[in-house]
Structures are given as structure tokens and as C-alpha cells.
């Protein structure tokens, strides 16, 4: 189907390698929407993975939509990159959401698409609005009134069943029958309108109970074995944070279990992809670009990371890491960072004092942090980013002061190493406030109040 597209979407489409275009006829049409701009969405490997997975299903055609960057873009309409079609023309609109901050954008997109915001006000022929992503493993309730159904779990473990060959028939039924069949037959499907929340007399939450014959508990779906499920970039474009970098997920979850961190708990057990699969992914990536990004909660924990990075290719490639631990900088990893001309490395002490790092189970010492800062700069990485939080449980003002002290100590090491290399880069300190996350040991800890946070940041 041909729709009038615009110069913004044409520019995005023309700058891409790997765009998937499939004929619409006879297929379920899915608009996969990232509730933020093209640049942000295309930097998200989870979003790209869903795009690839859906298009691998023969009877599905999946196109991508994003929040317009500015008013000139498509006159504010939400149209897809592949065919320039309005998302309201699709059978299904699938939101892929990784961050709670994007929740308001989900509503903006529904409004711009001309669709009723509330699920209860939509009916056939409106598209089915579904949503998935890690933010909904944690808590789908903030946007529950606006979504017809959530897919709770990892995409590979739930999408093939959800989009099986009966879905075209179900989409022709009335909305409630379609959703009921999905909720009853596809584990991980949560239809908010089929559940009621109940509360104690003091107003505190009691339970969520089904009002129809659907599962009492929604099972979070996850892939037990990643060894046959590569997760890599589907589309390369310069218009992302990673600029034509081919991303490869090396692992899912994290073995460290920092007590504030949802990644360390919702993706349990941590799973690592085998070297043989990752080598194949890397070869595929090298056929498309010379920049490889290894992605994972803690890439340096992969047991064969050094072997993976020492693969030889016919051309020079640059390898970057989404994360590494301050206590895991092996000579091999440092050599890869040096060869890849990485400009900025991130260290996340998270807390300033050892006392508080022990409380949050961070598992790194002050010496690990100082050694990492000194070594990274000595290896030629000029800039450092430091991540800290305030408002952590059991924090005192001494712990807050310790952030300043630690930054000064890091600066001292940084300058010593920088002067030796005759180049002084920048240290960026990022300070955020602790937010209690579901499923972590700190989930019931109250958040610090704004006045207290402000006084700590001063
Ligand atoms: S090491 Fe990082 S990803 Fe792992 S649990 Fe700690 S904060 Fe989370």
C-alpha cells in the first residue's frame, strides 16, 4: 500500500542498511512503535530485536513508527518508516517500551494517530494496542487503562505464540472475545480490563483478581537457553547514539545482584551466549560495518570475552562495550579498548563510601575504582564518566560527602595518568536519585523526599 511519505521519513529510510520491506497482502500488519524519537528508538537493541523477530514470521509484516522529532516532521502524524503508512491503518500497534519516562509519549502517539486513548473506548476497526518491554516486566499498571494487552516477558519467548496463525481470525472477532482467547491461550498475556484491583480499608493495596476465566497469575516468559537465539542489530543507521555500530547482546541478566538494580533481578538467571554463536554474530556484523558494540548488563563478566575480542578479521574493526566492571579490566580488555580508540569509559561506583557500597551490594572497593580510573586513562582513554546515586537506603550525610571525596581522589589519579600522556580529557559526574524498583530487595524502601534530595545534591 502506498501512502504519501515526507522528507524526514525518506531521509531516515535512505540512511539505513537492513530495512525490511514486505508486501502487506495476506499478512497481519504490525506497526512497531518506539515511544520516543527515531534516534532514541533505533539505538535500542530490544526494539530492533522485536522488528526482526516479527518480520521473521511469514504471515506478519512489521513496520516501524516513532515520536516525531519536531512539528515539521510529517505534520506530527505518526507514519511508518517503511511505507509511510499511518499507524492507525495497521491491524496491531505494538509499543516497545524500555523506560518509564516514555509513558507520556505513548499517549501522545495514540492521540496523534487519532485513536481513543482509553482501551475501553476503542473497538473494531481500531488496531489492537499491545505493549511489551522490560518496563512492563516491572510494572505495567501506570499505563494499563490505555493498552489492550501487555506481553510480559522476553520477546523471543512470547511473540511467536502470540502471533501464531490464529491471530488473523481472532482480530476479526469482537474485541473482548479476541483478548479473552489471547489471555487464556498465550502465557504472558495480561489484559488489564479482565482484572480488578482490591484495597484494604486503610486504602493500601490488597490484590489483583481476575473478573473472567483467565489466569490468576500472569507468567513472566523468558528464554531459558540463549544459545540458539542471537540478538543483534537488524538495521544500521548513522542516526543513532551508536552511529552504524552493529550491536550484539552477549548476555542477559547480571550475576552481581546490586540491591537497587532491576536488571540484576528481573532477568534471573543470568545467561551468557556461547562463544561460537557470538563469533558468528560478529562475522555477520563485520560484513556490514567496522564497528561492533557488545551489549549486556556487564559485558566483562562473559567467561570468554577475551577470546571473543581477540578474533581476527580482514579489516580493522572497533569494538566497544556497553558496560564493564571496575574490577574486571583484564589486559586483553584494555588492549581492545585501546585499539578501538574508545574516547570515554564509564565507572559506576554508585555510592561514595565503602559502607554504602556494601549496603547496596556493589561488590567493588575504593581501590578497584581508583585503579580503574588510573589504568583507563593510562591506556589512552581520555574521558571518564562517573555514576553516583543519592537517596540510597540507610544513607547519611557522611556517605554523601564521601561522593565528593571519592571524586577528588579519582581526579587526582586521572590527572596523574593524563599528564603522563600529555593529554587531559574530562571527567563527567552523573548524580541521580535512587528510585526503588519492583522485584529488588529495596522495592519497599521509601524514596527520599525532594527537599532532602536537593539538600544532598547542594
Ligand atoms: S553490576 Fe550493574 S547491572 Fe549488575 S546488578 Fe550491579 S548495577 Fe545492575
Question: 261: Cβ below 6 Å to ligand 1?
Answer: yes
In a domain, 30, yes or no: yes
Instruction: State which ligand 1 atom lies nearest to the alpha carbon of 257.
Output: 5
Question: 251: Cβ below 6 Å to ligand 1?
Answer: no
Question: 255: Cβ below 6 Å to ligand 1?
Answer: no
Note whether ipTM > 0.90 here.
yes
Instruction: State which ligand 1 atom lies nearest to the alpha carbon of 262.
Output: 8
* Tens-digit pLDDT profile for residues 318-341: 998 887 888 888 888 888 888 888
Supply the range of the domain harboring residue 389.
343-458
Phi and psi, residue 168, nearest 5°: -55, -40
Residue among 251, 262, 263 whose CB has most ligand 1 atoms within 8 A, to mutate: 263
Question: 32: Cβ below 6 Å to ligand 1?
Answer: no
Q: What is the CATH number of the domain that holds 354?
A: 3.30.750.200
Are residues 294 and 395 located together in one domain of the fold? no
In a domain, 347, yes or no: yes
Residue among 134, 264, 327 whose CB has most ligand 1 atoms within 8 A, to mutate: 264
CA distance 338 to 348: 20
What spacing in Å lies between the alpha carbon of 193 and ligand 1's midpoint?
35
Chain centre to alpha carbon of residue 314 = 32
Are residues 360 and 301 located together in one domain of the fold? no
* Tens-digit pLDDT profile for residues 424-440: 899 999 999 999 999 99
Q: What is the CATH number of the domain that holds 299?
A: 3.30.750.210
Question: 264: Cβ below 6 Å to ligand 1?
Answer: yes
Per-position pLDDT tens, the chain of length 458: 445 556 777 778 788 999 999 999 999 999 999 999 999 999 999 999 999 999 999 999 999 999 987 655 555 679 999 999 999 999 999 999 999 999 999 999 999 999 999 999 998 889 999 999 999 999 999 999 999 999 999 999 999 999 997 899 999 999 999 999 999 999 999 999 999 988 999 988 899 899 999 999 999 999 999 998 999 999 999 988 888 899 999 999 999 999 999 999 999 899 999 999 999 999 999 999 999 999 999 898 999 998 998 888 888 899 988 878 888 888 888 888 888 888 899 999 999 999 999 999 999 999 999 999 999 999 989 999 999 999 999 999 999 999 999 999 999 999 999 998 888 899 999 999 999 999 999 999 999 999 999 999 88
Are residues 401 and 285 located together in one domain of the fold? no
In a domain, 97, yes or no: yes
Amino acid at each position: 500500500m502506498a501512502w504519501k511519505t515526507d522528507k524526514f521519513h525518506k531521509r531516515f529510510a535512505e540512511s539505513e542498511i537492513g530495512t525490511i520491506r514486505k508486501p502487506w497482502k495476506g499478512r497481519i500488519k504490525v506497526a512497531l512503535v518506539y515511544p520516543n524519537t527515531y534516534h532514541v528508538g533505533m539505538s535500542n537493541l530490544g526494539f530492533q530485536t522485536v522488528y526482526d523477530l516479527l518480520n521473521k514470521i511469514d504471515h506478519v509484516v512489521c513496520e516501524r513508527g516513532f515520536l516525531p522529532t519536531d512539528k515539521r516532521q510529517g505534520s506530527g502524524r505518526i507514519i511508518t518508516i517503511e511505507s509511510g503508512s499511518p499507524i492507525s491503518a495497521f491491524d496491531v500497534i505494538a509499543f516497545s517500551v524500555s523506560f518509564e519516562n516514555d509513558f507520556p509519549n505513548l499517549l501522545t502517539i495514540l492521540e496523534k494517530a487519532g485513536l481513543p486513548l482509553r482501551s475501553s473506548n476503542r473497538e473494531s476497526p481500531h488496531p489492537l494496542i499491545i505493549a511489551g518491554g522490560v518496563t512492563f516486566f516491572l510494572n505495567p499498571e501506570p499505563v494499563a487503562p490505555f493498552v489492550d494487552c501487555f506481553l510480559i516477558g522476553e520477546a523471543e519467548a512470547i511473540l511467536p505464540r502470540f502471533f501464531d496463525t490464529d491471530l488473523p481470525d481472532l482480530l476479526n472477532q469482537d474485541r473482548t472475545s479476541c483478548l479473552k482467547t489471547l489471555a487464556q491461550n498465550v502465557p504472558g498475556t495480561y489484559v488489564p480490563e479482565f482484572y480488578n484491583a482490591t484495597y484494604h480499608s486503610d486504602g493500601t493495596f490488597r490484590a489483583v483478581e481476575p473478573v473472567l476465566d483467565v489466569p490468576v497469575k500472569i507468567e513472566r516468559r523468558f528464554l531459558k537457553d540463549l544459545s540458539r537465539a542471537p540478538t543483534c542489530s537488524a538495521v544500521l543507521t548513522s542516526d543513532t547514539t551508536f552511529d552504524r555500530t552493529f550491536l550484539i547482546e552477549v548476555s542477559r541478566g547480571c550475576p552481581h545482584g546490586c540491591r537497587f538494580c532491576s536488571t540484576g533481578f528481573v532477568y534471573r538467571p543470568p545467561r551468557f551466549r556461547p562463544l561460537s554463536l557470538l563469533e558468528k554474530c560478529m562475522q555477520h556484523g563485520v560484513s556490514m560495518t567496522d564497528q561492533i558494540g557488545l551489549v549486556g548488563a556487564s559485558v566483562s563478566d562473559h567467561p570468554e570475552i577475551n577470546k571473543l575480542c581477540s578474533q581476527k578479521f580482514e579489516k580493522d574493526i572497533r569494538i566497544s562495550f556497553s558496560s564493564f566492571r571496575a574490577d574486571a579490566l583484564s589486559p586483553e580488555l584494555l588492549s581492545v579498548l585501546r585499539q578501538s580508540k574508545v574516547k570515554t569509559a564509564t565507572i559506576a561506583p554508585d555510592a561514595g563510601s565503602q559502607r554504602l557500597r556494601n549496603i547496596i551490594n556493589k561488590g567493588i572497593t575504593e581501590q578497584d575504582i581508583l585503579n580503574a580510573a588510573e589504568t583507563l586513562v593510562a591506556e589512552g582513554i581520555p574521558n571518564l564518566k562517573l555514576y553516583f546515586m543519592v537517596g540510597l537506603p540507610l544513607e547519611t550525610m557522611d556517605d554523601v560527602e564521601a561522593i565528593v571525596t571519592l571524586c577528588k581522589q579519582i581526579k587526582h589519579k586521572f590527572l596523574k595518568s593524563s599528564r603522563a600522556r600529555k593529554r587531559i580529557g574530562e571527567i563527567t559526574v552523573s548524580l541521580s536519585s535512587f528510585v526503588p524498583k519492583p522485584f529488588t530487595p529495596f522495592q519497599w524502601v521509601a524514596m527520599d523526599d525532594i527537599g532532602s534530595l536537593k539538600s544532598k545534591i547542594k
